């Protein structure tokens, strides 16, 4: 007999189940069988039954002798007993491999032309279509399993040669599936759908065929397949079969009693529910009732219902299937928290839970269940927000959190390494991908990579020019097989050669140019990196192409030995990885491509519901799956964003069931809606919903998921207010003052509180900066040179000891098709330095090709064609100046009672000669001015000759030190003291432009207007965008921050009324008078 037990709460069903199980079976050694729809329910149900079975007044019993199979497992066990087929030997248990053989053998036949086109059959170079093979066949196998579960009569028709959907003829575009089933049936024998009638008849005739006890229970399903209900009906012929069904509304059940329906399109019961949420969310349980076989119905009322809260009233209205009426007031038992994106949702969740725990000391973490549509999205956010340890400032870091349903890649680093290798095997093998592989735990342990080692390797990869491809062979498929630069082979050759030779030497071996800054102490690390890349190449070579199944298993298993290692505590990772690989390929036949293997293992490694980490006493975060919403005091729905929940439900064009769905057949969007209803009914005290209600970048309002909007509409109707009254909109930042206002602040974050307090302080004008006292004492010549090149940078570095972060060498995964201005300048500068050092132009250009900085082929040639004449012009101009031997002059002179000491390098025939590929700019001339003065102070006379670019030609600046260099140096040291006491409004380009215009006779206003454009910039950034100027005066500071302040009392220059003008004229007037250009 089939006994149906209904209740609004699963806790009431569990207690009633305990009462049934309390009566022992006739066989004292027989196990009770209670089938559950999800593994997590097993733990909760066992815990709940232990308060009933063998329990005294303290509810201290024990749940023992109870087996909890899955519903499908129970049905398979019963059918196997009836047919005498061991499920482990049933070929239909794993039909993908044989179906793959059937499909491969029939692709050339006309009836399978649709699938053949989809898989690119007969097209030689269509890798994209060929890569669909496994995924497509696996999808077809899943469709056949679904057909056997939901429409076994259709499968029987197919076996008999009738191409129907169970009733009507199949659409023409789907008839190939019936023939495909018959071909597969010829290989495997009758399928599960065909065996079902005979199995059920056998169970009715001889109940002992199934090795099951006299009493069975199915706990908590909200949807049952046709196959399951048929088998249950057969088992109920001679056994007690108890179906424990959580149902939100006995009133709706009564309204549907006696009604039936077959096709969803003609189901008139869809409009029977009166409550809007039952109408939109409860389709699964409604359709389940319409299809149940004959049964004895029993409703277990819950006497502890409370309706004093909004949640209680909502549950009571659902129970009575009553339209919402404005008889309740809004409270915090049902609340929607609108946030700016998933990270902010998790932060707000932490604050809300802390408030609940503080307000109710009886509430414990185990009383809270957090459900989210995709746990993998929120897992890293939850890990970063909760459970980091009690020693951190935020009290939420002491909360213990368990993440359930994580993917195998997330829980086992070795399987993540396998997945990365499969991605590499079908990719360009970029620099970033290999570095990511090197950073995985198993690889790091085997090769001994420390954090410092990985940073050092990253630097080598960036500077050696590695972009993508192991070698030219990797690039063959992309039409770049003749471009050897920027491959891993080229980069490693540079690193290894750099151990013995410096990059500035014109030496190369074959196509390898040595990499600079690699010394003998790096030999071991370079060797380990080379060994890693060599092993990766070995594995990837084996993972390329089409191979037998055993080859793939051996290769991936061998890759674990070649590339990973684990310590003794983590030895389980290796065992699990090998077991998962063996099970994935078990029974495999034929050949597979890389894409097939990747698709095969992707499903294997995906997250799936388990009992692990579910209800362990900690705060549980898990995926929304059927019947996961077991009763908790607080149920949290996280990530209920539009477009994420419900899951996308596009119609599968290959699914026969989707063409004309029957009542009770699976629909993922309806399933998700049922999950939301289950969650609302499972909460005993509170339902908290978190969603993205505003764009985290623009702040634009975003709607919640549609079912959440429907929930808000119902709640608004119950309270008589607006939807917004039930939504708490949280600010973007955790330090927003609004989070800490009111009698009960929303946030517990002490760091955020400090930020909020700072934010609400009255804004006062920035106080005038008081200059620091001059340092006095000796001055290094190089410090003075750095000052005149960039006064503000010198102030930050030399006086405040602040070095602003620069641009690190980033690892680029792309081959450059063109170079930006800075990159092209670097090419020209290296070519110039090499040719000035005596390297021929051809050898210098060859070095540049080998360095990998040029775009490939003619694109790189075009760069050299632009740079070559500029370099030639500079070399031609500078060569005569560089012929005299260079010497170094030590400088140690007394200037105004202070010592100026340093060295002047590159002195040739009484002149400091320097050559730059840059356009000859003010900073180069300022540097030369100081060097010429220092040389003259040391030797009595001095010149500075600087050669730089002017367009495509060369420009020479010759500066002759005045007769009294010490006087000028004394004035420069005074400027130096002022500039290292406070940031001066003085920059080489703008100040030189202003002084030159004034000396040339231009009026002050016109000069300021002209150099103001240099400050703001145009096609290229101006001095206002200089990071040191931004640090001092802020971003996009107007030119007035320099031209506004008046000069100090002891700063004067004729006709100048601004400090900028005085300082500019004071520095540049003597320099310009001493300079001649050509």
Report the alpha-carbon angle 200-205-210, nearest 5: 65
Q: Which two tokens stand for residue 1040?
A: 């007035």
Architecture of domain 90-195: Orthogonal Bundle (1.10)
Beta bridge partners of 261: none
Q: How far apart are CA 61 and CA 19, in angstroms?
A: 13
274 close to 319: Cβ distance less than 8 angstroms: no
Mean pLDDT value across residues 945-956: 91
What pLDDT score was predicted for residue 505?
60
Candidate from 103-117, 609-623, 669-683, 829-843 with smallest mean pLDDT: 609-623
Domain boundaries in the chain?
2-85+199-303, 90-195, 334-407+610-650+661-734, 409-605, 774-806+858-983, 985-1078
Q: Which two tokens stand for residue 608?
A: 């799936």
What pLDDT score was predicted for residue 638?
96
What pLDDT score was predicted for residue 305?
60
What would the pLDDT profile of 154-188 be if each residue is shown by its tens digit? 999 999 999 999 999 999 999 999 999 999 999 99
Architecture of domain 409-605: Orthogonal Bundle (1.10)
Q: Is the dihedral of CA 603, 604, 605, 606 positive or negative?
A: positive
Which residues have C-beta within 8 Å of that of residue 859, sequence separation ≥ 6?
817, 818
**CA nearest 850: which of 499, 530, 505, 494?**
494
- Say what angle helices 821-836 and 841-851 make with each other, to 10 degrees: 140
Peptide bond into 646 cis (omega under 30): yes
Candidate from 192-201, 261-270, 544-553, 805-814 with smallest mean pLDDT: 805-814
Is the pLDDT at 605 greater than 90, yes or no? no
Is the pLDDT at 614 greater than 70, yes or no? no
Is the pLDDT at 101 greater than 90, yes or no? yes
Decide the pairing of beta strands 32-35 and 66-67.
parallel
Instruction: Quote the percentage of the chain above a pLDDT of 70.
Output: 97
Number of residues that this document lists for the chain: 1078
Is the pLDDT at 1028 greater than 90, yes or no? yes
Fold match, 90-195 / 409-605: no
Is the pLDDT at 611 greater than 70, yes or no? no
Cα 81 to chain centroid distance, Å, stands at 48
Q: How far apart are CA 775 and CA 759, in angstroms?
A: 36
What would the pLDDT profile of 838-897 be if each residue is shown by its tens digit? 888 988 888 888 888 888 888 999 999 999 999 999 999 999 999 999 999 999 999 988
| C-beta atoms surrounding 634 within 10 Å | 23
158 close to 194: Cβ distance less than 8 angstroms: no
Is the pLDDT at 754 greater than 90, yes or no? yes
Is the pLDDT at 358 greater than 60, yes or no? yes
Q: Which fold has domain 2-85+199-303?
A: Rossmann fold (3.40.50)
What's the CATH number of domain 334-407+610-650+661-734, 3.40.50.720, 3.20.20.150, 3.40.50.300, 3.90.105.10? 3.40.50.300
Mean pLDDT value across residues 525-539: 95
792 close to 1028: Cβ distance less than 8 angstroms: yes
What would the pLDDT profile of 696-739 be if each residue is shown by its tens digit? 999 999 999 999 999 999 999 999 999 999 999 999 999 999 99
What pLDDT score was predicted for residue 792?
94
What pLDDT score was predicted for residue 810?
65
Q: How far apart are CA 501 and CA 518, in angstroms?
A: 9
Task: Compute the mean pLDDT over every residue in the chain, rounded to the nearest whole number.
Answer: 90
Per residue in 48-68, is it b (16+ CB within 10 Å) or e — as a string?
bbbbbbebeeeeebebeebeb
What would the pLDDT profile of 401-455 be if each residue is shown by its tens digit? 888 878 888 889 999 999 999 999 989 999 999 999 999 999 999 999 999 999 9
What pLDDT score was predicted for residue 585?
93
Q: Which two tokens stand for residue 1049?
A: 């009392």
Which among 24-28, 250-254, 402-406 has the top mean pLDDT? 250-254
Candidate from 35-39, 903-907, 967-971 with smallest mean pLDDT: 35-39
User: Which of the four pLDDT bands, split at 50, 70 and 90, describes residue 119?
Assistant: very high
The secondary element (H helix, E strand) that includes residue 684 is strand 683-692
What would the pLDDT profile of 326-335 be if each residue is shown by its tens digit? 988 889 999 9
What pLDDT score was predicted for residue 610?
54
User: Which of the four pLDDT bands, split at 50, 70 and 90, describes residue 115?
Assistant: very high
What pLDDT score was predicted for residue 503?
58
What pLDDT score was predicted for residue 419?
93
User: Which of the four pLDDT bands, split at 50, 70 and 90, describes residue 607?
Assistant: low
User: Which of the four pLDDT bands, split at 50, 70 and 90, describes residue 742?
Assistant: confident
**CA nearest 559: which of 535, 580, 527?**
535
User: Which of the four pLDDT bands, split at 50, 70 and 90, describes residue 1021?
Assistant: confident
Mean pLDDT value across residues 784-808: 89
Q: How far apart are CA 739 and CA 752, in angstroms?
A: 9
Which residues have C-beta within 8 Å of that of residue 838, sequence separation ≥ 6?
none
pTM over 0.75: yes
Beta bridge partners of 369: 620, 635
Mean pLDDT value across residues 197-222: 94
Q: How far apart are CA 869 and CA 875, in angstroms?
A: 10
Residue with tokens 């980091």: 388
What pLDDT score was predicted for residue 625?
76
What pLDDT score was predicted for residue 47?
87
């Amino acid at each position: 007999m089939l006994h149906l037990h209904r209740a609004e709460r699963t806790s009431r069903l569990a207690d009633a189940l305990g009462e049934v199980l309390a009566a022992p079976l006739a066989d004292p050694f027989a196990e009770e069988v209670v089938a559950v729809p999800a593994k997590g329910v097993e733990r909760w149900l066992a815990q709940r039954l232990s308060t009933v079975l063998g329990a005294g007044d303290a509810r201290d019993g024990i749940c023992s002798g109870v087996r909890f199979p899955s519903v499908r497992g129970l049905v398979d066990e019963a059918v196997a007993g009836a047919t005498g087929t061991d499920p482990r030997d049933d070929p239909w248990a794993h039909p993908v491999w044989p179906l793959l053989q059937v499909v491969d053998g029939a692709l050339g036949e006309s009836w399978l032309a649709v699938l053949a086109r989809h898989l690119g059959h007969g097209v030689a170079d269509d890798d994209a279509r060929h890569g669909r093979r496994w995924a497509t066949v696996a999808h077809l196998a899943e469709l056949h399993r679904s057909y056997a579960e939901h429409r076994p009569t259709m499968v029987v028709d197919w076996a008999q040669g009738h191409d129907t959907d169970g009733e009507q003829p199949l659409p023409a575009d789907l008839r190939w599936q019936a023939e495909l089933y018959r071909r597969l049936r010829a290989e495997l024998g009758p399928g599960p759908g065909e065996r079902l009638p005979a199995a059920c008849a056998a169970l009715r005739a001889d109940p002992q065929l199934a090795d099951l006890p006299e009493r069975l229970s199915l706990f908590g399903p909200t949807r049952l397949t046709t196959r399951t209900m048929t088998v249950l009906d057969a088992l109920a012929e001679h056994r007690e079969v108890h179906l424990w069904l959580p149902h939100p509304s006995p009133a709706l059940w009564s309204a549907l009693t006696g009604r039936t329906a077959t096709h969803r399109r003609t189901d008139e019961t869809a409009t029977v529910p009166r409550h809007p949420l039952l109408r939109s969310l409860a389709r699964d349980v409604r359709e389940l009732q319409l299809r149940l076989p004959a049964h004895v119905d029993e409703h277990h009322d819950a006497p502890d219902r409370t309706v004093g809260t909004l949640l209680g009233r909502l549950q009571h209205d659902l129970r009575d299937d009553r339209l919402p009426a404005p008889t309740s007031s809004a409270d915090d038992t049902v609340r929607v928290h609108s946030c700016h994106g998933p990270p902010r949702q998790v932060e707000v969740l932490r604050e809300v839970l802390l408030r609940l725990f503080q307000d109710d000391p009886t509430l414990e973490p185990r009383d809270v269940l957090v459900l989210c549509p995709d746990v993998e999205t929120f897992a890293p956010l939850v890990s970063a927000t909760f459970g980091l340890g009690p020693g951190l400032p935020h009290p939420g870091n002491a909360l213990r959190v368990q993440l359930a349903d994580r993917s195998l890649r997330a829980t086992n680093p070795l399987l993540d390494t396998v997945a990365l290798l499969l991605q590499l095997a079908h990719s360009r093998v970029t620099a970033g991908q290999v570095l990511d592989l090197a950073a995985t735990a198993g690889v790091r342990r085997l090769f001994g990579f420390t954090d410092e080692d990985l940073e050092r390797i990253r630097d080598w990869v960036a500077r050696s020019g590695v972009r993508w491809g192991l070698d030219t062979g990797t690039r063959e498929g992309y039409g770049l097989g003749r471009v050897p630069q920027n491959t891993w082979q080229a980069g490693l050759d540079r690193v290894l050669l750099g151990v013995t030779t410096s990059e500035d030497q014109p030496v190369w071996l074959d196509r390898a140019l040595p990499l600079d800054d690699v010394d003998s102490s790096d030999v071991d690390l370079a060797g380990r990196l080379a060994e890693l890349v060599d092993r990766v190449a070995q594995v990837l070579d084996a993972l390329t192409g089409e191979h037998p199944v055993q080859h793939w298993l051996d290769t991936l298993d061998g890759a674990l030995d070649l590339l990973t290692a684990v310590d003794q505590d983590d030895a389980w990772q290796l065992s699990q990885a090998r077991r998962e690989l063996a099970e994935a390929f078990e029974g495999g036949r034929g050949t597979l491509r890389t894409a097939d293997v990747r698709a095969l293992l992707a499903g294997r490694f995906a997250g799936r519901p388990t009992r692990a980490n579910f209800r362990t006493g900690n705060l549980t975060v898990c995926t929304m799956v059927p019947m996961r919403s077991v009763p908790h005091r607080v149920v949290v729905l996280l990530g209920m964003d539009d477009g994420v929940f419900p899951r996308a439900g596009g119609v599968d064009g290959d699914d026969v069931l989707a063409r004309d769905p029957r009542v009770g057949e699976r629909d993922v969007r309806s399933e998700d809606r049922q999950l939301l209803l289950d969650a609302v009914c499972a909460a005993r005290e509170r339902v908290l919903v978190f969603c993205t209600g505003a764009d985290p970048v623009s702040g634009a309002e975003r709607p919640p998921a549609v079912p959440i909007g429907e929930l808000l509409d119902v709640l608004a109707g119950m309270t008589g207010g607006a939807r917004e009254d039930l939504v708490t909109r949280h600010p973007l930042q955790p330090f927003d003052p609004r989070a800490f206002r009111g009698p009960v602040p929303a946030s517990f974050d002490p760091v955020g509180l400090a930020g909020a307090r700072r934010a609400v302080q009255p804004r006062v004008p920035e106080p005038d900066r008081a200059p620091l006292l001059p340092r006095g004492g000796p001055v290094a010549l190089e410090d003075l040179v750095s000052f005149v090149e960039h006064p503000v940078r010198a102030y930050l570095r030399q006086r405040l000891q602040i070095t602003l972060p620069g641009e690190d060498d980033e690892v680029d995964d792309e081959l450059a098709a063109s170079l930006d201005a800075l990159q092209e300048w670097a090419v020209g500068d290296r070519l110039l330095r090499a040719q000035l050092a005596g390297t021929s132009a051809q050898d210098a250009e060859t070095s540049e090709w080998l360095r990998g900085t040029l775009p490939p082929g003619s694109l790189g040639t075009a760069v050299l064609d632009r740079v070559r004449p500029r370099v030639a012009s500079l070399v031609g101009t500078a060569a005569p100046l560089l012929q005299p031997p260079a010497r170094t002059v030590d400088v140690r002179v007394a200037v105004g009672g202070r010592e100026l000491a340093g060295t002047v390098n590159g002195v040739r025939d009484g002149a400091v000669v320097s050559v730059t590929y840059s356009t000859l700019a003010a900073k180069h001339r300022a540097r030369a001015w100081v060097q010429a003065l220092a040389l003259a102070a040391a030797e009595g006379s001095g010149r500075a000759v600087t050669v730089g670019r002017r367009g495509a030609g060369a420009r020479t600046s010759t500066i002759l030190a005045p007769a009294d260099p010490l006087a000028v140096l004394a004035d420069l040291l005074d400027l130096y003291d002022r500039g290292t006491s406070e940031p001066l409004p003085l920059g080489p380009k703008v100040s030189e432009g202003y002084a030159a215009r004034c000396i040339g006779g231009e009026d002050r206003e016109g000069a300021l207007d002209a150099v103001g454009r240099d400050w703001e910039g145009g096609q290229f950034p101006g001095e206002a965008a200089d990071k040191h100027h931004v640090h001092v005066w802020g971003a996009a500071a107007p030119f007035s921050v320099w031209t506004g302040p008046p000069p100090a009392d002891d700063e004067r220059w004729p006709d100048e009324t601004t400090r900028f003008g005085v300082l500019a004229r004071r520095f540049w007037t003597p320099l310009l008078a001493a300079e001649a250009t050509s």
